[in-house]
Structure 1
C-alpha cells in the first residue's frame, strides 16, 4: 500500500512516513522555553544559581530558529546544563553531569503532558489517517522516554510502528542514519519514504538519505513542499 500526500505545492506518494517530533508534531520553541524555565526553577530548588550562564549557552534570548535550545540532542541538553553548573559554581565535572541529569528528570516530572505536548494543529489526526495506509515512524533528537510519553498521552501507541532517537545511531541529524535505519526496519528504499519535519537538519537528513521531505510551518530550501500545519495536508490512499 501507499499514501498520497498533497498540499498547495506538492503531490507525493510514499510507502512510509517518518515524522520529526518537536516543532513538527508538537509546538517547538514555545515548549522548549517552557522546559528551560522549569529546569531553572528546579535549579533554584537544588541551590544552584545557573540561569545567567544557561541562558547564554542555550541561546534562550536570541530570536533565531537554530539556537541550541531548539536543535540540541537530549544528551547535549544535559551537557549544556552541566556546563552552566560548572561555569557558575566550579564543581567537579562528574558532579555537574549528575546534577544536570537530575535537573532534567525533576523538571520533566513537574510538567504536565499538556505543557510538554501542545500539538501542532492537525498533527494527531494526520498520524491516525496516515497509519491507515502505511507504516509510520518518529525520528527525533529527543529522548525515547519523552516520545513514549507523547504517544501514550495522544493515544497513538498503536499508530506509530517505530521510534528512533539520536541515541540509537552513531550520529544524529543531519546525518542520514536515523532514516536509513527506519527504511531497513520497514524493508523499503529511502526513496519510497517521505520525512515530515520543521528544521533544516530534517531537510538535510532527508536529502542525505535520498528521501523526500515536507516541512511544517515554513518552506525551507531543499524541501519538496511545505504546509503551515496539518490541516493543509490532504491524505488519501494512493
Structure 2
C-alpha cells in the first residue's frame, strides 16, 4: 500500500493548460497575431515551456508576455477542480495519508492557487521550479517532494497528466497514474510503465489504499 500521494498541478488538479492556451490566443488574436497552434502548445506541456515563452517574446515582447501570464494566473482560480480530485484529496486526508504537489510551474503561483481553491489544509508539501535545478521530465521535482515527505519513492503514488510529468515520476522511482485532459489526451503513453490511465479518481482509494 502507498503511504503518500504526489499530484502534478497544472492539468491534473485544475485544467490550467487549456485555460492558458485560450488566454494566450485571445490576446494574440486581439493584437492581430496568428494564434499559437495547438500541437506546438501541447509540445510544451509538462516542462519549462521555453519554446513557447520565446515564441511569445518574439511576437509581443517581454512586458506583454508577463501581462498575459498574469491574466492567466489571476483568473485560473475560477476554474473547477478536475473530476474526482477533491474527493480523492479529502479521502486521503481523512486517512492521514500525506499529499504533495510537484509542479514545473512557479511554487508561489501554485501556492496562491492552492489557497484560493481552499486546498491548503490538505497539502503537506509543494515543490516548484524554484526548488530544483531541472524541471520535468527530470526526476528532481518528485525526488524533492518525496524527500520533504520523508518517504521512499516506492511508497509514493504520483498522479500526472503528461508524458514529461509521468517520465519524471517514473525516473524518480514512483508508480504513476495518468489522467489526461483535452491537451494531453492525444499523447501516446504506451512506452511508459503506468499502473493506470484515465481512471475514475474516486476509485483510487479502494484500488490502491485498501478502501
TM-score, normalising length: structure 2: 0.79
Shift of 1:107: 4.7
In the alignment, the residues of structure 2 paired with residue 74 and residue 165 of structure 1 have an alpha-carbon distance, to the nearest angstrom, of 14
Q: Deviations over 1:62-87 (max 9, x none)?
A: 3x88422x3352666543321223xx
In the alignment, the residues of structure 1 paired with residue 105 and residue 86 of structure 2 have an alpha-carbon distance, to the nearest angstrom, of 18
- Displacement over 4 Å in runs of 4+: 74-77, 235-238
1:233 aligns with 2:197: no
With over 3 angstroms needed to count, the CA separation of the structure-2 counterparts of 1:30 and 1:100, relative to structure 1, is closer
Structure 1 residues without counterparts, runs of 5 or longer: 1-12, 86-95
1:223 aligns with 2:198: no
1:67 is matched with 43
Matches within 5 A, 1:5-24: 13-24=1-12
Moved more, 21-30 or 129-138: 21-30
Contact kept? 1:215, 1:225, Cα under 8 Å = yes
Q: 1:137 aligns with which of 97, 100, 108?
A: 100
Shift of 1:100: 2.0
Aligned pairs, number: 200
Matches within 5 A, 1:111-190: 111=75, 113-114=77-78, 117-132=79-94, 133-190=96-153
In the alignment, the residues of structure 1 paired with residue 168 and residue 73 of structure 2 have an alpha-carbon distance, to the nearest angstrom, of 28
In the alignment, the residues of structure 2 paired with residue 179 and residue 107 of structure 1 have an alpha-carbon distance, to the nearest angstrom, of 25
TM-score, normalising length: structure 1: 0.71
Structure 2 residues without counterparts, runs of 5 or longer: none
RMSD of the TM alignment (CA)? 2.8
